[in-house]
A = this chain, B = another copy of it.
Amino acid sequence: MSKKTNNIPYRFYLTEEQLPKAWYNLRADMKEAPEPLLNPATLQPATVADISPVFSEELAKQEMDDKTAYFEIPEEVRNVYKIYRPSPLCRAYNLEKALDTPAKIYFKFEGNNTSGSHKLNSAVPQAYYAKQQGLKGLTTETGAGQWGTALSGACAMFNLPLTVYMVKGSYYQKPYRKDVMHTYGAEVIPSPSDTTEAGRRILTEIPETSGSLGCAISEAVEKAVTSEGCRYALGSVMNQVLLHQSIIGLESYTAMELLGEYPDIVIGCAGGGSNLGGLIAPFMRDKIKENKNTRFIAVEPASCPSLTRGRYLYDFCDTGKITPMARMYTLGCGFIPSADHAGGLRYHGMSPVISKLYHDGYMEAVSYKQTAVFDAATYFAKVENILPAPESSHAIRAAIDEALKCKESGEEKTILFGLTGTGYFDMTAYSSYYDGTMKDYIPSDEELEKGFAGIPDIPQNR
């Protein structure tokens, strides 16, 4: 906590030379690593061999490795990163002024690439490793569309065919997203579809369904494991994804170091935990290894509150229950967020790394209703000129509230939050906020109970 200075630029970019050359694997420095994935057939810890039919080999290794602290970023991946990285570390001078807060507010802005979000950081290595392995293609799912767009772009860079199962509701509500993926050469299929067993089953049970992320995952995984030379790619939750996303935190860490700054509070929105896990990684390392008293805040929607209202147990990663099981804060793999919920952050579970850190008291979590989130989004847009994604706006909301607490207390805290992306493809949600048709939805305890139906009752500590 230092006095406000005026020699910090509005936007700070590392040079190409200063970009990280390795990803950081926070698991290696955690006092207790997250619990292992379980093979659902045996309920034994999954091995690299178990998950290799689903993920490319190198990614399967990264997924399981909680010992290696640094993974070198392959040169080919770094060369793609250099197209859109470094992302700027931004000082929100205008937001500080508008709030009249003594706090110093920084944000790491990941929206300056065509995927419109941080998702490209993991899409690029996932496409690269698949290509290296000589695979014939990848499959994935996408909800709001950021991940599908990112992976489409990454696959185009490496000339790799991609099939995207897009949640049916989004497919028709966000046709532009689909067109961007087409630009990159991806095949986009509305989910549930008749191209998989899982899809056909759900279509029979609920013919009118607009789909869900969990269902799209089931389809994408099934398609991958039943197609020759094909693997699956996931944009969040998994350890490998948090590893790749550490680039966000590492850049932020170096940039703040060069500016003579260190955050008192680090804030990120939390859906599956990819951005949050990446942003906090090196700062959490300092908390774990050097007892820094930094606060970490996960911000989630009140309509999909896995950390604040979920349970910490072994659950499936998909609705169809065909994936390995992960111990995580979850609303149950049967949970589907209300159609009133706009934007992303709609996954039923939370990254095992984030879940473990939260469970062990290293992090806090808060949830917000979506109108409160859009209040923050539009306020931020007006003063900082950036139109934020609804997801990212959860972090903005919490950052504003922390800055206002500083105003109350007079403390000059340094706040860092992740601005994961832009909202250009989310104008339908903004529009419903303006015309007053946006609804706040908070699931009842009874509704939440339903998500847990059919999850096997298994010992929780391995």
Contact among B15, B82, B382, B434 for A179, CB-based, below 8 A:
B434
Residue contact B82 to A431, C-beta cutoff 8 Å:
no
Contact with B along A69-112 (1 / 0, CB 8 A): 00000000001101110000000011000000000000000001
A34 to B387, CA, bound (A): 39
Count of chain A residues with Cβ under 8 Å from any Cβ of B?
A: 45
A83 to B425, CA, bound (A): 22
Known: A182-B434, A381-B183. A114 touches B427 (CB 8 A): no
A113 to B116, CA, bound (A): 11
Q: Which of A369-392 contact B (CB under 8 A)?
A: 378, 381-387
DSSP majority for the A interface? helix
A256 to B385, CA, bound (A): 28
Residues of B within 8 A of A172 (CB): none
Contact among B113, B175, B185, B383 for A385, CB-based, below 8 A:
B113
CB distance from A79 to the nearest CB of B (A): 8
Residue contact A84 to B427, C-beta cutoff 8 Å:
no
Known: A9-B15, A11-B16, A382-B156. A427 touches B387 (CB 8 A): no
Residues of B within 8 A of A184 (CB): 381-382
Residue contact A183 to B114, C-beta cutoff 8 Å:
no
A79 to B92, CA, bound (A): 12
Contact with B along A136-160 (1 / 0, CB 8 A): 0000000000000000010011000
> Is A13 an interface position by the 8 A CB rule?
yes
Residue contact B114 to A381, C-beta cutoff 8 Å:
yes
Residues of B within 8 A of A10 (CB): 16, 79, 82-83
Residue contact B15 to A427, C-beta cutoff 8 Å:
no
A141 to B424, CA, bound (A): 21
A40 to B384, CA, bound (A): 41
Known: A11-B16, A434-B182. A153 touches B385 (CB 8 A): yes
Residue of B nearest to A81 (CB): B10
Residue contact B175 to A427, C-beta cutoff 8 Å:
yes
A427 to B188, CA, bound (A): 15
Residue of B nearest to A93 (CB): B79
Contact among B176, B185, B382 for A185, CB-based, below 8 A:
B382
A378 to B434, CA, bound (A): 34
Residue contact A114 to B179, C-beta cutoff 8 Å:
no
Contact among B11, B113, B424 for A425, CB-based, below 8 A:
B424
Known: A9-B16, A424-B425. A385 touches B431 (CB 8 A): no
A11 to B14, CA, bound (A): 11
Residue of B nearest to A84 (CB): B385
> Is A180 an interface position by the 8 A CB rule?
yes
Contact with B along A114-136 (1 / 0, CB 8 A): 10100010000000000000000
Residues of B within 8 A of A431 (CB): 175, 179, 182
Contact with B along A398-436 (1 / 0, CB 8 A): 000000000000000000000000101101101100100
A180 to B424, CA, bound (A): 8
Residue contact A179 to B427, C-beta cutoff 8 Å:
yes
Q: Which of A176-214 contact B (CB under 8 A)?
A: 176, 179-180, 182-185
Residues of B within 8 A of A120 (CB): 385
A434 to B187, CA, bound (A): 13
Residue contact A114 to B386, C-beta cutoff 8 Å:
yes
Residue of B nearest to A159 (CB): B382
A378 to B180, CA, bound (A): 10
Residue contact B83 to A157, C-beta cutoff 8 Å:
no
Residue contact B183 to A378, C-beta cutoff 8 Å:
yes
Interface residues of A (CB under 8 A from B): 9-11, 13, 15-16, 79-80, 82-84, 93-94, 112-114, 116, 120, 153, 156-157, 175-176, 179-180, 182-185, 378, 381-387, 422, 424-425, 427-428, 430-431, 434
Q: List 21 A-B contacts (CB under 8 A).
A: A9-B15, A9-B16, A83-B386, A113-B386, A114-B386, A116-B424, A156-B385, A157-B382, A175-B427, A175-B431, A176-B424, A176-B428, A179-B434, A180-B387, A182-B434, A183-B378, A183-B387, A183-B430, A184-B381, A184-B382, A424-B425
- Other A-B contacts than A10-B82, A157-B383, 6 sampled, CB-CB below 8 A, are A10-B16, A11-B16, A13-B13, A83-B94, A120-B385, A180-B430
